[in-house]
Chain A
Amino acid sequence: MSFQIKKTSKVYDVCIVGSGAGGGMAAKVLAEAGFSIALMEAGPNFDPANPEQQTQFKWPYESPRRGAGTTRAFGDFDMAYGGWDIDGEPYTTKDGTKFDWFRSRMLGGRTNHWGRISLRFGPLDFKRKDHDGKGDNWPIGYEDVKPYYDKVDKLIGVFGTKENLPNEPNGFFLPPPKPRLHEMYLKKHGEKMGLPVIPARLSILTKRIDNRRGACFYCSQCSRSCSIYGDFSSSSVLVKPALEYENIDLYVNAMVREVLTDESGKASGVAFVNKADMKDYEIKAKVVILAASACGSARILLNSKSSKYPNGLANSSGVVGRYLHDSTGSSRMALIPSLMDRKRYNEDGVGGMHLYVPWWQNDTKNLGFSRGYHIEFWGGMGMPSYGTGMGMEHLNGLVPGADGQMKRAGGFGAGLKNDVRRFYGATVGMSGRGESIPQFNNYCEIDPNVVDKFGIPVLRFHYKWTDDEVKQAKHMQDTFEELLTNMGGIFLGDKPGADTDYGLEAPGRIIHEVGTTRMGDDPKTSVVNRFNQAHDVPNLFVVDGGPFVSQADKNPTWTILALAWRASDYLIDEMKKMNI
């Protein structure tokens, strides 16, 4: 059941704030268990099969800007309503530091456009401090989460291969798709360098897992959210089935302002703004679960101030908002002359890479930096979009023409037109995605001076990379250079050097931000316990990326899903025991 908003005197068992990976999983597990649930989403309802909203299978020329990113950061067809900048919802930074905060305001949130890269954390990833002395260990280990990773694999579906790599655990994998041509190049030359070039692990159904969702039909458009639900998005795969239960109400366009508490200090519900009428409302609930994204949940907690909780809710430790960390990222691309003048065929494949390189140097000491990265690939004969054919003057002077003679860069006319054809599908790129070391001094806090259009105080960020991340980016660039050189590549653009921190992206750009409500056994240094339950407020949980102690070089979604399921099972158990 879904409706816009009405004031209610009903007391729900559980109020879940946010419908992305964590909130969707909690909603599904708890709805099945029979609890009455209010699911709050700050954006509109969304279904990729709704023709009004669908972008899958649209051609670039159906957009007057040919899919450019003027209004959506990743282009017109990308399925995220929002971006790093949202009208009327600002955030600020301090001390000259930078953090870019990506938000998607819609049912399912960012899971509608994400890369579907679904990597389990390995045993080392939970205990990195034991190996390099930096940051902190998680209070739990791989064995605690493994049963839930297994359940998530089977419920949602992920393709991959059993590689028996110690820190890249096997799972319940669907068969992977065969590699594309440029990926075969990467495999051939990567393996010569000793890189493990293995099938990607993406939550895309190469094979059906139930009778509800269709098998992938290889349009490569997972970022547009799949109309047959052949990939994972929280709205399609978790929320939609959950809403079939009578005991769950979905509130859309409901921007949560704060968690309310009663005299005893326990959570009693949430206050929110209904975007439709811009008025304030309250929902009462016996349990509140925050899943509003790492920074979104931290913001709600910090804004939930009272005389009992002057520093915000669940924040007696003072670490809400602290230890914010994103993945590192750095990229390089090259023209591969032997991929020019390619024979044409449909090379769309799944939405994303078919092969990747997991971190391969866990056993190497003295790299000069502590934590690893994995490598993602891009290239191939994809659908043209805004940008295709631009910058020819940087390409067509690099290699001989069809007649064997070098050409003058630039030009016009039939020759230029033919050059665009010749270079199509001939560029290959790669990006590193690495683990950063969480820092107490990288944080978000409430800006004392700024509110958003709803009157809600906004976040202010302070974030600096350390030497570890910069040196890791340098290592990425050296690896990319060697691999692309071995492939016969002609680099496009100079190698990023020390002046740009080796191409290290600003924090927030990789959109893997986690850590703001971290998990721990000690209430003085952590916000939630091993089961995502707030130390200070037993009927308050956080099930997004906030509880991550460290985020590995892995994309966080699969771990958010596993931990949200685990926390929901724990909550069910505690409710049964009347502990909550």
Chain B
Amino acid sequence: MDRRKSLKAMFAGTVTSGFMFTSCLTDTEKSAETTTPVAGDSEEASGYGRTPEEAARDKDLMSTTFFNEHEMITLAIVADIIIPADETSGSATDAKVPEFIEFIVKDMPHYQTPVRGGLRWLDYESKKRFSTEFKEASEEQRLEIIEDIAYPEEVKPELEQGARSFATIRNLVCTGFFTSEIGIKDIGYMGNVPNVWDGVPDDVLKAHGVAYDERILSESIKPEERNEVANWDNYNPEG
């Protein structure tokens, strides 16, 4: 991309989108533990313009499994606490967010320890408070723990590590959800289709107190002229 977009724009993922500004796009940190190869689970990775090397890497990642069953169940519970279903759209698990996180921790190994450790932290905290694993705790008990670690500015010192790993999981859940088909519909993104841009709708301009002036209106491309072939015969670049 345009390097002309700054790195921060790059971080946001696309040319103009996004409002993420704390995480990294690339896996720059040193990798954590190695993954355990498991047979099966090798969804074919293709269809999005990969080079042969990239396709082979995807396939390789998909042939391994990182989280065990207990971790996946716990992750699904936490994901749905972070992004539940509401009147607009489904939940994180409806959008297959845990499966996305399973892939992303293999793609970016620096996530492996914080996420796995964060799930373990929840289990231990739950055992201390309620003598049961997080996934076996009641909904009320689970929310009591999450409430204590979800607001980084007011976390008790003894819970700080829990809050930190929860923030990592929250980031992955939010981005996993809002880049899914369900999430994109939810957020109201209406592009990625051939169309003819003719400016911001009038009511929006008005609501924001701005207007296209005469010059913009006269000089900008008219939708009906876009398929004409430009003719320079009467064009004076100096004029």
B226: which of A216, A389, A418 is its contact (CB, 8 Å)?
A216
**A60 in contact with B179 given A70-B26, A219-B193 (CB within 8 Å):** yes
* A429 touching B237, Cβ below 8 Å: no
| Cβ contacts B46-57/A at 8 Å (1 or 0 each) | 011101001001
Chain A positions 170-190 with a Cβ under 8 Å from a chain B Cβ: 170-181, 184-185, 187-188
B16: which of A157, A174, A220 is its contact (CB, 8 Å)?
A220
Name, among B11, B178, B205, the residue most crowded by chain A CB atoms within 10 Å (CB to CB). Answer: B178
* A74 touching B20, Cβ below 8 Å: no
Q: Which residues of B contact A382 (CB under 8 A)?
A: 14-18, 189, 191
Please tell me which stretch of A21-29, A137-145, A201-209, A365-373 contacts chain B, meaning at least 4 of its Cβ atoms lie within 8 angstroms of it.
A201-209
Chain A positions 75-114 with a Cβ under 8 Å from a chain B Cβ: 75-78, 81, 102, 113-114
Please tell me which stretch of A257-265, A315-323, A345-353, A446-454 contacts chain B, meaning at least 4 of its Cβ atoms lie within 8 angstroms of it.
A345-353
Task: Tell me, in angstroms, the Cα distance from A382 to B19 when the chains sit together.
Answer: 10
Q: Which residues of A contact B178 (CB under 8 A)?
A: 384, 388-389, 420
Name, among B6, B54, B152, the residue most crowded by chain A CB atoms within 10 Å (CB to CB). Answer: B6
Q: Which residues of A contact B122 (CB under 8 A)?
A: none
Q: Which residues of A contact B204 (CB under 8 A)?
A: 181, 342-343, 345
Q: Which residues of B contact A411 (CB under 8 A)?
A: 150-151
| Cβ contacts B192-230/A at 8 Å (1 or 0 each) | 111111111101110110101000100111100111111
Q: Counting CB contacts under 8 A, is B58 at the interface?
A: yes
In the complex, residue of chain A having the shortest beta-carbon distance to the beta carbon of B167: A393
**A218 in contact with B197 given A60-B184, A351-B15 (CB within 8 Å):** yes
* B47 touching A176, Cβ below 8 Å: no
Q: Which residues of A contact B18 (CB under 8 A)?
A: 382, 384-385, 387-388, 427
A392: which of B174, B187, B198, B235 is its contact (CB, 8 Å)?
B174
Task: Tell me, in angstroms, the Cα distance from A84 to B154 when the chains sit together.
Answer: 40
Number of contact residues on B: which range applies?
A: 35 or more
Chain B positions 35-63 with a Cβ under 8 Å from a chain A Cβ: 45, 47-49, 51, 54, 57-58, 61-62
Q: Counting CB contacts under 8 A, is B124 at the interface?
A: no
Q: Counting CB contacts under 8 A, is A308 at the interface?
A: no
B188 → chain A closest CB, angstroms: 4
Please tell me which stretch of A50-58, A237-245, A435-443 contacts chain B, meaning at least 4 of its Cβ atoms lie within 8 angstroms of it.
A50-58
B115 → chain A closest CB, angstroms: 14
Q: Which residues of A contact B197 (CB under 8 A)?
A: 177-178, 218, 346, 348-350
Name, among B17, B146, B176, B188, the residue most crowded by chain A CB atoms within 10 Å (CB to CB). Answer: B17
Q: Counting CB contacts under 8 A, is B83 at the interface?
A: yes
Please tell me which stretch of A3-11, A295-303, A503-511 contacts chain B, meaning at least 4 of its Cβ atoms lie within 8 angstroms of it.
A503-511
**A424 in contact with B187 given A68-B104, A411-B151, A417-B86 (CB within 8 Å):** yes
* A389 touching B175, Cβ below 8 Å: yes
* B3 touching A115, Cβ below 8 Å: yes
Other A-B contacts than A187-B210, A418-B86, 14 sampled, CB-CB below 8 A, are: A71-B54, A77-B48, A77-B49, A115-B1, A176-B219, A178-B220, A179-B200, A219-B191, A348-B192, A380-B16, A417-B177, A421-B186, A493-B21, A505-B6
A residues touching B (Cβ–Cβ < 8 Å)? Answer: 44, 52-55, 57-78, 81, 102, 113-117, 150, 154, 157, 159, 161-162, 170-181, 184-185, 187-188, 199, 206-211, 215-223, 329-331, 333, 335, 338-339, 342-352, 376, 378-395, 397, 408-414, 416-418, 420-421, 423-424, 426-427, 429, 431, 433, 492-493, 505, 509-512, 555
